[in-house]
Amino acid sequence: MAVIAAARKSRLRNALEGFALTTILQSFPTFAAAALLLKLCGNHDLVGDPGVAIFVAVASLVHALLAATIGPAFPALFRTLYEPAFFDGRLSLSDKIAEWRTHPVASLQLVAIVLLLSVMAVVTASVG
């Protein structure tokens, strides 16, 4: 069944899936954590400012765009930024995510992000 779905998938759809997965699973958590870290460090300019959400969204999109364009050209240099499985046209969307989760680097990234966000959430809740 996955073979039939993959055969019908266009190059554009595959590129959009790869771009979306890179944005959501790799770029967004990084910039969201950076914004929260700035808030925890006492940057009061971030309080209630919608510019923070815009910054995180735009930075995530630019980061993913760079990963999708430069990553394939220099895979050794951008091995943590570019995930080839996200752009594999033979895989379905769920298979791409499953393939990515089995890599040790992705596991390490996920654990680091979860721990960092958990610690920052506790600190934010306790500080106010």
DSSP 73-93: T-TTTTTTT--GGGG-TTS-H
What's the average pLDDT block by block, 10 residues per block, for the chain (128 residues)? Answer: 60 92 89 81 71 86 91 83 88 91 83 83 73
Contacts of 124 (CB under 8 A, 6+ apart): 36, 39, 40
> What is the rounded CA–CA span in Å between residue 62 and residue 59?
5
Query: What pLDDT does residue 128 have?
Result: 59
pLDDT the model gives residue 55: 85
Distance CA 41, CA 123 (A): 11
* CA–CA dist 24, 48 (Å, integer): 23
Residue 101 CB partners (closer than 8 Å, separation 6+): 107, 110
> How much is the pLDDT for 6?
47
Q: How many CB atoms lie within 10 A of CB 98?
A: 12
